[in-house]
Structure 1
Amino acid sequence: MRDQSGSGAMTDQQRKQTNVQEVPSTITDAAEASGNRIEEGDFVTRNEEQDLVRGLHQRHISLIAIAGAIVGTTSLFLGLGGSIQTGGPLGALLGYAIVGLIVCAVQFALGEVVALLPVTSSFVRHAEFLIDPAVGFAVGYNLVYGNLLSIPTEITAICVLIQYWTDMNSALWIVVFIILTFVVGISFIGIYGEIEFWFALLKILFIVFLILLGLIIDLGGVPGTPRIGFRYWNRPGPFVEYIATGRWGQFLGFWAVMSNAVFSFAGVESIAMAAAETRNPRIAIPKACKRVFARVSIFYILAVLIVGMLVPSDDPRLDDQSGTAAQSPFVIAASAAGLHGVPSLVNAVVITSAWSSSNQALLSGTRVLYGLALKKQAPKIFLRTTSWGVPYICVLLNTAFMFLAFMSLSEGALTVFWWLVDLVACGVLISWITILTNHLRLVLAMKKQGIPLAELPWHSRWTEWSTPTALALCVVILFTAGFPVFTTGNWSASSFVSSYLDIALVTAAYAFWKLFKRTKFVALADIPLREAIDRAQQDPGVEVKVPLWRSIAGFLWD
């Protein structure tokens, strides 16, 4: 292991990699003469080129992106029942469809900016380049904080899921999964990519299996089971009244589903966190982002539709609070049809999904912290990497926080633990808002500077209207996510704090760095886009052509 400060001898290969990112002095001089702000940390730095290793391939990024979008957490397997119960089958379908479109807009916006600036910690550093360094600081530490708590959360969820089969002490399973998560995090990035690739493929194949199974059950394909069809859309009905009555109550049910659906897609934005460790990032990451749309439509929306057909919204079994497969609407339907092996199968796959989420949180948290250290917003010690390119001090810090999972063994500590986790729940929306704002600023700056959008390494005209629309929706959802606490008889101080305190924390972090460093809001005309575009044109990446048979076999990611 070594302390990477950018000094010391460089190998020929390292010089070659670094030279790819170097720009002729005429470009830099011209940018500086125009008054534009130029900092090495705005682009891929020598630390990233020398100390990190490009071990993630196109197939890793693409399949992880798709799996993150459709089953980023355990919510698809276990949580859809609650959405059906709150909004009804049609309310849940509309809610997830709209949020699915928001996710697609976020992915497209992220892909366009990453293609121009494929840096470690992704949109955190994009915010510094396009908006204000204080925004990058605030969002970066919000992500670090959120991921530090997300990993022990997932480990706790795994312990609950394992209790479906055995009463063995949870402390043992906490230790086992802390060790497993640490081993993946400290290993070569390619190992993480390979593990997540196969887990992602497993989750995708499993959701396809559940969709087909649900359709068979619904159509009466299981012997002894009557055809259900859209019976539950007629009674109890397509919508459910939530808090209020009538049309207003049905709308609130739909809106509650949409607010909850946001957190089902948590993690989709993390695919670009390791851009500097991805081969051909200007090609691989945008390609992964733009293919999310079709996959979300096929998998997630179909799953919500099938669940709304299988289980009535007033089914008391949806109130199961065990946190295991018993609460899954797929399991409820399969058990009613006499298919008793499905619960254990669902439970097993949900465990892999939860562990996959903890690995993803570890990657995201460590790379954001590394990126903050690159910008001198975190101690320099976090720049230390192993000989195989892993920021090991960042990994060790995240590993230390994994032991918070032991708080789940104490009822009182568990209450505090989940309260802390709830504080960062709206961090997902804050991240999406940052990504969309970054892209909007990029488009406006290009127009201000008279640079055609066609000069971007990757651009879709769809994003010119999808980005502002999705941004407006995200802001509205952010401020209305905790609306039940403002209704008569539903006030809860803990719910209010968990819904909105994170907004105050991010604002405070922004104000602190703004005052401490006296950062300035970057004017559209001063963003050094010309240099960024010239760098991208010099290093466009290499499009790898694959045989037709391989494209067909890998249709999910190629």
Structure 2
Amino acid sequence: MMNRDDIITYGGDKESCIEEGKEKNDASSLQDSADFSGPIAGEVGQGLQRNLQARHLTMISLGGTIGTGLFLASGSSIATAGPGFSQVAYTLIGTMVYCFMSSLGEMATYLPITGSINAYGTRFFDPALGFMLGWVYWFSWSVTLATELVASSLIISYWIPPETCPGWVWALVFIVILTTLNLSSVKAYGETEYWLSLIKVLAVVVFIIVGFLYIGGAVGTPIEGAPKPGPQVFNMDPFHNGFMALFSIFLNAGFSFQGAELVGIAAGETKNPRKNVPRAIRQVFWRIIMFYILTILIIGMTIPYDDESLANEKGDIKSSPFTRVFVQAGISVGGDIMNAIILVAVLSAGNSGLYASSRALHTLSKEGNAPKFLGYVNRWGVPVYCVLATALVGCLAFIVSLRQIGQGEAYNWLLALASTTGFIAWLGIAFCHIRFRMAYKAQGRSLQDLPFVSRLYPFGPIYTIVICLIILFGQGYTAFTPFNVKAFLSAYVTLPFVVILYFGNKFWAKTKILKLVDVDLDTGRSFLETAPPIMDSESECNQKKPNKFRRVLASIF
């Protein structure tokens, strides 16, 4: 643990600020921020490095969220329930995301530890809960990686048909690229993800601008006999198929938002998490809400809900709503450009998925809940074997080579698996927040000492738990009328494993639910208690008063 004499301050001149910032950037281990002398669950350190800056943290979360869920799955949601219900579904899921991110923000700023989702379950409730959440979260993002790889092969088929080059070849190429990136230092990963995410954020902004211009008649040529873009398209049947259709697209909407919680996962490798984590959470939520609501609105006002290609049942990238809007707006080259950007977005989301799952697996190993060799970290702060193990699961994407399964159907199966496990992880975050607050109160601590306080407590976590439970248990209702084995397994196959993981570990390890007064609220925050805000780098020292151009960029991105 650092001594008070070693703590960096920045009250002096600019030169001393820069020099001290450089010293901080040279830190090689997370052990600078905490003293872990015993086998405490959720421990930080172990060779991981705090090299992620605020801009990396924001873009990592955006990168994990803006992917296939937005670019591909949004069209099928509108086709199923109409533009009106789609808007309602994405808005409701968005509000739930805000609630659980607020909960995560409070815990992650108080205890910025790597693999926080499973670590918080272990520390605040029961080691068996941490065991279950860790493996579920690892599986969720591993399957998501496979989902993104399937999507990437679909996108490539826009230019190169599968008959010329099978989809599994592209999946293999991309899994090698993503694995190589994640085997680099966390700083290299963060920098790569920053630029990849920036490209797709810019693409979404351009899409929104072009979409509104097309709706307003400034660009594009109306299709003869087709409804006029705007209210005429939106009002065809905005609430299609009734309430049950609304319910059925919650899973798609939930998958689209998954990745926002990466802020908490990356907190343990972030510089000055007390300042940067709350900032990233606030920025990411509002930007994602803005992007999703406007995007769904534009698609719903430009492409009729009954357009057969909108449902995209065959997984044809040519029918991506983003590509369609550009083509209809008269920007023929926009189709190729948009597909290239969608490919970047998909790879970015897969990159974030590989990062998140490898950190969750690393935490499981350090807690003794995964093979010990997975805890190995190289000199660049990368859990090598965790990355490789996750990449191996990502090879599920190779099933796109099986003709009897088909690319589109494989994507839908993987989408359902990733969505279900993602909701379980969100539910776990909300539950851990309730336990954290109860323990905090039981130990006589003041909320004024928290660096970030969730104003939505207790409504926020309760609302998240209720919505997640409704979706998890109600998502497969269509499988019962009439009963469809395939649909039933797709909806509920993961739930029995959740129960088995929790109670199996509880029986095997003989774990007990922790008493509130025994919950460890101190390990991992000793440095934060004594250290004032730390400048991340020389650039932050020089940018205390950013110019107008930088302020405009900061407000948008």
Matched, 1:474 2:468: yes
Instruction: Identify the residue that residue 321 of structure 2 maps to in structure 1.
Output: 329
Cα distance in 1 for residues equivalent to 2:276 and 2:363: 20
Shift of residue 137, structure 1, vs aligned partner? 0.4
Q: 1:557 to 1:195 in 2, by over 3 A?
A: farther
Letter in 1 for 2:331: L
Once residues 74 and 445 of structure 2 are traced to their aligned partners in structure 1, the CA distance between those partners, rounded to angstroms, is 45
Match of 2:111 among 110, 117, 121: 117
Q: How is 1:489-500 mapped onto 2 (pairs within 5 angstroms)?
A: 489=482, 491-500=483-492
Structure 1 contact 281–541 (Cα < 8 Å) conserved: no
1:112 and 1:405, CA in 2 relative to 1: closer, same or farther beyond 3 A? same
Partner of 1:519: 511
Q: Is the 8 A contact 1:150 1:421 kept in 2?
A: yes
SS at match of 1:41: coil
**Gap change, CA 1:213 and 1:62, over 3 Å in 2:** same
Query: By how many angstroms is 1:533 displaced?
Result: 6.1
Q: Which residue of 1 aligns with 2:71?
A: 77
Paired AA for residue 548 in structure 1:
P
SS in 2 for 1:425: helix
Name the counterpart of 2:12.
Answer: none
1:416 to 1:310, Cα distance in 2 relative to 1, 3 A: closer
- The answer for the alignment partner of 2:18 in structure 1 is none
Alpha-carbon shift at residue 432 of structure 1 (Å) = 0.3
CA separation of 1:333 and 1:385: change in aligned 2, threshold 3 A: closer
Q: Which residue of 1 aligns with 2:196?
A: 199
The whole-number CA distance in structure 1 between the counterparts of 2:398 and 2:455 is 49
RMSD, matched Cα: 2.6
Match of 1:8 in 2: none
**Match of residue 425 from structure 2:** 431
Letter in structure 2 aligned against 1:202: I
2:458 is paired with a residue of what secondary structure?
helix
- Which runs of structure 2 are paired with 1:10-49 in the superposition (5 Å)? 18=31, 20-22=33-35, 40-42=39-41, 44-47=43-46
The question of 1:62 aligning with 2:62 is answered no
Q: Could you tell me how far apart the structure 2 residues matched to 1:509 and 1:223 are?
A: 54
CA distance in 1, matches of 2:413, 2:296: 29
User: Contact 2:42 / 2:122 at 8 angstroms: preserved in 1?
Assistant: no
Separation in structure 2 between the aligned mates of residue 314 and residue 197 of structure 1, nearest angstrom: 37
Aligned to 1:185: 182
Partner residue of 1:96 out of 84, 90, 96: 90
Per the alignment, residue 20 of structure 2 pairs with: none
TM-score (norm 2): 0.86
What residue number does 1:237 align with?
A: 237
Look up the equivalent residue of 1:199 and give its one-letter code.
L
Q: Deviations over 1:218-270 (max 9, x none)?
A: 11112543863311233x222101xxxxxxxx111222222320111122222
Partner of 1:555: 554
Inter-CA distance 114–379: structure 2 relative to 1 (3 Å threshold): same
Quote the Cα distance in structure 2 between the aligned partners of 1:148 and 1:223.
Answer: 41
- Inter-CA distance 485–17: structure 2 relative to 1 (3 Å threshold): closer
Alpha carbons 1:116, 1:282 under 8 Å: kept = yes
Aligned AA (1:64) = I
Whether contact under 8 Å (1:214, 1:330) holds in the other structure is: no
Tell me the residue number matched to 2:443.
449
- For this pair of structures, how many residues does the alignment match? 517
Residue 154 (structure 1) shift: 1.9
2:9: which partner in 1? none
Q: Tell me how far 1:141 sits from its aligned partner.
A: 1.1
Query: 1:293/1:143 Cα in 2 relative to 1: closer, same or farther (>3 Å)?
Result: closer
Amino acid at match of 1:505: F
How far apart are 1:521 and its partner, in Å?
Answer: 0.8
Q: Distance in 1 between matches of 2:269 and 2:29?
A: 16
Q: Deviations over 1:348-397 (max 9, x none)?
A: 11111111122111111111111011111112111212111111111222
Match of 2:364 in 1: 372
CA distance in 2, matches of 1:531, 1:387: 25
1:112-141 CA distance string (max 9 Å, x none): 111111111111101101111001101111
Distance 1:423 1:16 in 2: 35
- Does the CA contact (< 8 Å) of 2:119 and 2:363 recur in 1? yes
Q: 498, 502, 507: which one pairs with 2:494?
A: 502
Q: Whole-Å Cα distance in 2 between the matches of residues 531 and 152 of structure 1?
A: 36
1:196–1:320 Cα change, 3 Å = same
Q: Kindly indicate whether the alpha-carbon contact (under 8 Å) linking 1:20 and 1:538 is maintained by their aligned counterparts in 2.
A: no
CA distance in 2: counterparts of 1:453 and 1:206, whole angstroms: 41
Structure 1 segment 66-465 matched on structure 2, within 5 A = 66-69=62-65, 71=66, 73-167=67-161, 168-170=164-166, 171-222=168-219, 224-225=221-222, 228-234=229-235, 236-241=236-241, 250-412=242-404, 419=413, 422-465=416-459
Change (3 A) 1:299 1:215: same
Counterpart contact for 1:324–1:347, Cα < 8 Å: no
User: 2:275 aligns to what SS in structure 1?
Assistant: helix
How far apart, CA to CA, are the structure 1 residues paired with 2:169 and 2:525? Answer: 52
Cα displacement string for residues 261-306 of structure 1 (whole angstroms, at most 9, x for unaligned residues): 0111122222322332211122222221122332133211111111
Alpha-carbon distance in 1 for matches of 2:527, 2:426: 26
Amino acid at match of 1:96: Y
Identity %: 30
Amino acid at match of 2:383: P
Provide, for residues 427-473 of structure 1, a one-character-per-residue CA deviation record: whole Å limited to 9, x for no partner. 01000001111111112222223322221121132343222222211
Measure the CA separation in 1 of the matches of 2:415 and 2:218: 42
Q: Tell me the TM-score normalised to structure 1 length.
A: 0.86
Q: Which runs of 5 or more structure 1 residues have no equivalent in the other structure?
A: 1-11, 24-37, 242-249
